[in-house]
């Protein structure tokens, strides 16, 4: 009976695991292999060059800039996005004042409307969001500088995407705006599963909003927060940051490589410069950074599981 059960499980998983190995694991192995060659990506011919690409990468100033920017994305974007999402979700679900003839635990007034507003960016593709903000950041006719002029701040007219000191922060602001709604919905679902009796007991003991959040909501929601942290970090290191930087910035990646991130640099080397082998080398470095980020977050966020 046991033998038949295991045979059924293996048969059930064989096809999904085979597809995963073919379309996920095998490309990783190929990328690592090609990183030791001089393949251009345009010809089937190549030769092994050992660690030459890795030595070149370590001497590449633009690579180090892209690595710095990617690490900044991975460290700051999850902190800002998840902090905002937790605050908004808490206020929408349990942060309201007690009303007469109403439930003891409720969100702020208009919470249903706020849920729609926060989730709205998820309806738009990241390409559309990037285009909209590229127009908004235009220093001459963009909405942001027009508002500044309208309120009398004519002397404050930043170049935004044209300023090397501001461009990266402007891009990060777009990523926060476009992703925070997803985590508001995610955390709201988690908060809805927390028994209302816990909040009511805390209110009877005189706990305020801050105490309720840090002593009840955050500990019981910690597993969801940790998963969201890893997910947001991977988004910041991967496709989301590539799309926004590629569409919004000059170059793209400019000015003066001030917004170049690792995934964009991989794309440029592979498809613009015809240096596929060197691009896969940078891709291997990006893989290591991503895995290290996930491992560190999971290790630092480990704590005793709370049940209710």
pLDDT tens profile 149-168? 888 888 888 999 999 999 99
Which residues partner with 210 through β-bridges?
none
Decide if 139 contacts 131 (C-beta within 8 A): no
What does the pLDDT look like over 206-223, one tens digit per residue?
777 788 888 888 888 888
Whether 249 contacts 161, CB under 8 Å: yes
User: What does residue 268 show for φ and ψ, rounded to 5 degrees?
Assistant: -65, -45
Could you tell me the domains of the chain? 54-300 (1.10.3720.10)
Q: What is the pLDDT of residue 1?
A: 47
The CA distances from residue 142 to 56, 156, 158, 162, in Å, are 41, 13, 11, 13
Spatial separation of the C-alpha atoms in residues 145 and 143, rounded to whole Å: 6
Cβ atoms of 119 and 181 closer than 8 Å: yes
Contact 93, 111 (CB under 8 A): yes
Distance CA(301)–CA(7), nearest Å, equals 37
Least Cα distance to 215 among 191, 197, 199, 192 occurs for 199
DSSP bridge pairs for 48: 37
Torsion of Cα atoms, 12 then 14 then 20 then 21, to 10°: 170
According to the model, what pLDDT value does residue 4 have? 61
Residue 281 and residue 21: Cα distance in Å, rounded? 21
Q: Measure the CA–CA gap between 164 and 152, rounded to whole angstroms.
A: 25
Write down the pLDDT at residue 67.
95
Contact between 264 and 246 under an 8 Å Cβ cutoff? The reply is yes
What 8-state DSSP symbol labels residue 88? H
Is the bond leading into 252 cis (omega within 30 degrees of zero)?
A: yes
Which stretches of the chain drop beneath a pLDDT of 50? 1
| pTM, rounded to two decimals | 0.87
Sequence-ordered alpha helix ranges (H) in 193-268: 196-204, 209-212, 218-220, 222-237, 239-248, 262-267
């Amino acid at each position: 009976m046991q033998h038949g059960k295991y045979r059924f499980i293996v048969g059930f998983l064989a096809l999904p695991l085979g597809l995963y190995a073919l379309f996920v694991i095998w490309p990783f192995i190929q990328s690592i292999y090609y990183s030791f060659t001089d393949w251009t990506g345009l010809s089937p011919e190549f030769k092994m060059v050992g660690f030459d690409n890795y030595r070149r990468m370590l001497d590449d100033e633009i690579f180090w800039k892209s690595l710095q920017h990617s690490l900044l994305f991975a460290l700051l974007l999850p902190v800002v996005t998840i902090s905002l999402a937790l605050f908004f979700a808490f206020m929408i679900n349990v942060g309201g004042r007690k009303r007469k003839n109403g439930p003891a635990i409720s969100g702020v007034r208009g919470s249903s409307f706020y849920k729609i507003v926060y989730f709205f960016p998820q309806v738009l593709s990241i390409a559309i969001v990037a285009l909209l903000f590229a127009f908004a950041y235009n220093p001459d006719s963009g909405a942001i500088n027009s508002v500044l002029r309208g309120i009398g701040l004519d002397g404050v007219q930043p170049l935004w995407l044209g300023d090397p000191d501001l461009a990266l922060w402007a891009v990060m602001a777009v990523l926060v705006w476009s992703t925070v709604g997803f985590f508001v919905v995610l955390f709201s679902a988690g908060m809805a599963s927390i028994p209302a009796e816990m909040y009511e007991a805390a209110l009877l003991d005189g706990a305020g909003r801050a105490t309720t959040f840090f002593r009840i909501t955050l500990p019981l929601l910690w597993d969801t927060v940790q998963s969201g942290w890893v997910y947001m970090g991977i988004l910041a290191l991967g496709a989301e940051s590539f799309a926004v930087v590629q569409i919004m910035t000059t170059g793209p990646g400019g000015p003066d490589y001030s917004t170049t991130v690792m995934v964009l640099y991989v794309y440029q080397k592979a498809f613009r410069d015809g240096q596929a082998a060197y691009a896969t080398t940078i891709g291997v470095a990006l893989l290591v950074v991503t895995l290290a980020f996930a491992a560190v977050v999971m290790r630092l966020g480990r704590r005793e599981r709370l049940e209710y």
